[in-house]
């Protein structure tokens, strides 16, 4: 989905690769432009309530994306369930991260406000 929306994985992972544990060293070395936080089986509300776990880590604050405020929490369901929501997820990332304008933007924005 990230590639379909015009994004590149800063860690170099390809779509469909198995989940893995990533070290802070790897993340700091990649120093991503954008950080998307979308834990499996966690709602955006739960993720937001647990952000203190990341915020208490000094490495988190060293990231360029954190310093510039480019950190996003998404509902994991946008990316993990087959169907039309996958298209919505691609459009949402394209608009947010690549400034790509799509038709019927207002309708899409209304759907995304609950997902991002």
* Residue position matching structure tokens 């996003």: 72
Helix 84-98 vs helix 105-112: crossing angle, to nearest 10: 100
Q: How far is CA 30 from CA 16, 26, 47, 88, 95, in A?
A: 20, 6, 23, 27, 23
CB 37 within 8 A of CB 74: yes
pTM of the complete model: 0.75
Which of left, alpha, beta for 31 (phi over 0: left; psi -120 to 50: alpha)? Answer: left
Q: Mean pLDDT of successive 10-residue segments in the chain (116 residues)?
A: 75 79 95 90 91 96 95 84 79 76 56 53
């Amino acid at each position: 989905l990230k590639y379909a929306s015009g994004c590149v994985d800063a860690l170099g992972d390809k779509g469909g690769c198995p989940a893995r544990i990533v070290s802070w060293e790897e993340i700091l070395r990649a120093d991503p432009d954008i950080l998307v936080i979308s834990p499996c089986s966690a709602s955006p509300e739960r993720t937001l309530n647990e952000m203190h776990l990341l915020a208490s880590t000094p490495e988190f604050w060293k990231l360029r994306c954190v310093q510039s405020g480019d950190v996003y929490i998404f509902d994991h369901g946008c990316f993990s369930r087959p169907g039309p929501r996958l298209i919505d997820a691609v459009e949402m990332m394209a608009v947010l991260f690549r400034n790509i304008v799509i038709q019927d933007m207002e309708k899409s924005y209304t759907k995304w406000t609950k997902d991002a």
